[in-house]
Amino acid sequence: MEKRYLRDIEVSKVGMGCMAFSHGYGKIPPESYSIEAIRNAYEHGCTFFDTAEVYSPNLSGIGHNERIVGKALKDVRDNTVIATKLFLSSAEARRAGSVYKAVRNHLIDSMSRLQTDMVDLYYLHRTGSVSVEEVADAMGRLIDEGMIRGWGLSQVDTDVIDRAQRVTPLAAVQNIYSMVERDSEYSVIPYCMEHNIGFVPFSPIASGLLSGKITTETKFETNDDVRTWVPQLSKRNIAGNQPIVDLLKEYAALKNATPAQISLAWMLKKYPNVVPIPGSKNKERIVENLNASYVELSDEEFRNLESSLNQLKVYGHRGFNR
Ligand SMILES: NC(=O)c1ccc[n+]([C@@H]2O[C@H](COP(=O)([O-])OP(=O)(O)OC[C@H]3O[C@@H](n4cnc5c(N)ncnc54)[C@H](OP(=O)(O)O)[C@@H]3O)[C@@H](O)[C@H]2O)c1
């Protein structure tokens, strides 16, 4: 698969979000299946894997997902890029003695679960009470120590990125981004392009909506399933967003691809610094999503798709707050 860069970190053009093996989309598969699915993705050219310390069933407990990723990739670790994330409060930083010490403690725990002595990309999962400049400074020290290769922020707007970037240049920003969540187009992605920062869209298939497999009759699970609150997936908004799904189906037929692939090919064509991390619990669909990297929209196809999309109203908006 073609490569892209998150600053100086080389990754496959499409990465893989591993969250759903632990959290967020209902029942989780047996661990052996999850490990096999991650290894299968690697064998299909994926070198970029996204996890976080908090990805555990019902977000209770720490490290379920990191352990799975660690087991799956330990034999091919040198050929892969692992991204993980931490949460940090100012109270915890005070208890640890400094932001740097607190971040380092989280990192050491993640490295142990991931069975690695270095994390390629370390994100602050959400900014909160802790100063982003102090986190940036801590990340710079961890880069100097060789414990991480690069760092990033998630769900942030340009002013926060800029404050952090002035202290320690970022490798990546991970925000929600898809055909139905386009806030980052206004200034975040342009800022990232200008400053050589990779942009990593999460929920790029809008939690399944853009695959065209979700209908108003689809029943989501009741336990630990984000689809029960994702705004575009209420019954009324699924119906409202049908024209966007129909547009994707039209291009899918034209390109001999699937709607999910077209939605990914659209963002890959649009921006050279974008590396989406679609998530799935299903081995075959993971490969389908990776193969979006081979779906090339011509300039004209892209322009027409974009202009049709711009004329359609999006029903539901999640934004940066959740
Ligand atoms: N930084 C953050 O705060 C944050 C927040 C959320 C997620 N993330 C990261 O982003 C990754 C991706 O986000 P996400 O999983 O929320 O959203 P997503 O990739 O937009 O969608 C995942 C959903 O779409 C379905 N799906 C995926 N590909 C499909 C296909 N080809 N055909 C049919 N259905 C398909 C999946 O179902 P099946 O499992 O049944 O295939 C799942 O229900 C996560 O794994 C995680 O690593 C980060």
CATH classification of the domain holding 193: 3.20.20.100
Q: Indicate whether 219 belongs to any domain.
A: no
Identify the residue whose C-alpha is closest to ligand 1 atom 48: 202
Distance 206 CA to ligand 1 centre (A): 7
Of all protein residues, the one whose alpha carbon is nearest to atom 14 of ligand 1 is 203
Nearest residue (by CA) to ligand 1, atom 45, is 17
In a domain, 311, yes or no: no
Number of domains in the chain: 1
Residue 81 maps to a domain? yes
Alpha-carbon gap, residue 260 to 278, rounded angstroms: 9
Q: Which atom of ligand 1 is nearest to the CA of 289?
A: 31
Cα(207)–Cα(195) distance, integer angstroms: 29
Distance 144 CA to ligand 1 centre (A): 33
Ligand 1 centre from 28 Cα, in Å? 13
Let me know if residue 289 belongs to a domain. yes
What pLDDT does residue 320 have?
A: 81
Pocket test for ligand 1, best of 123, 202, 322 (most atoms within 8 A of CB): 202
Task: Tell me the CA–centroid distance for residue 158 and ligand 1, in Å.
Answer: 25
In a domain, 132, yes or no: yes
What atom in ligand 1 is closest to the CA of residue 280? 39
Pocket around ligand 1 at a 6 A CB cut-off? 17-20, 24-25, 50, 154-155, 174, 202-208, 211, 213, 260, 277-282, 285, 288-289
Kindly list the averaged pLDDT for each block of 10 residues, start to end, along the chain of length 322: 98 98 97 98 98 96 97 98 97 97 98 98 96 98 98 97 98 98 97 98 98 97 96 98 98 98 98 98 98 98 98 95 64
Evaluate whether residue 249 is within a structural domain.
no
- Count of CB atoms within 10 A of residue 268's CB? 21
Domain hosting 28: range is: 3-207+258-297
Using the atom order of ligand 1, give the atom closest to the CA of residue 205: 20
List b or e across 232-257, with b for residues whose CB sees 16 or more CB atoms inside 10 angstroms: bbbeebbebbbebbebbeebbeebeb
Whether 223 maps to a domain, the answer reads: no
Concatenated DSSP letters of 138-172: HHHHHHHTTSEEEEEEES--HHHHHHHHTTS--SE
Query: Which atom of ligand 1 is nearest the CA belonging to 285?
Result: 31
Does any domain span residue 86?
yes
Ligand 1, atom 36, lies closest to the CA of 280
Atom 21 (ligand 1): residue with closest C-alpha? 207
Question: Residue 152's closest CA among 188, 112, 113, 204?
Answer: 188
Residues annotated as part of the active site: 55
Amino acid at residue number 156: V
Q: Give the closest residue (by CA) to ligand 1 atom 44.
A: 17
Q: What is the pLDDT of residue 322?
A: 60
Question: What average pLDDT does the structure give for the chain?
Answer: 97
Closest approach atom of ligand 1 to CA 17: 45
Rounded to the nearest angstrom, the distance between the alpha carbon of 25 and the centre of ligand 1 is 8
Q: Find where tokens 């984000």 sit.
A: 226
**Phi, psi angle pair for 144, to nearest 5°:** -60, -35
Ligand 1 centre to CA of 286 (Å) is 10
- CA-CA distances (angstroms) from residue 178 to 66, 114, 185, 204? 25, 29, 10, 5
What would the pLDDT profile of 232-266 be if each residue is shown by its tens digit? 999 999 999 999 999 999 999 999 999 999 999 99
By CB neighbour count within 10 A (0-12 exposed, 13-18 middle, 19+ buried), where does 103 fall?
Answer: buried
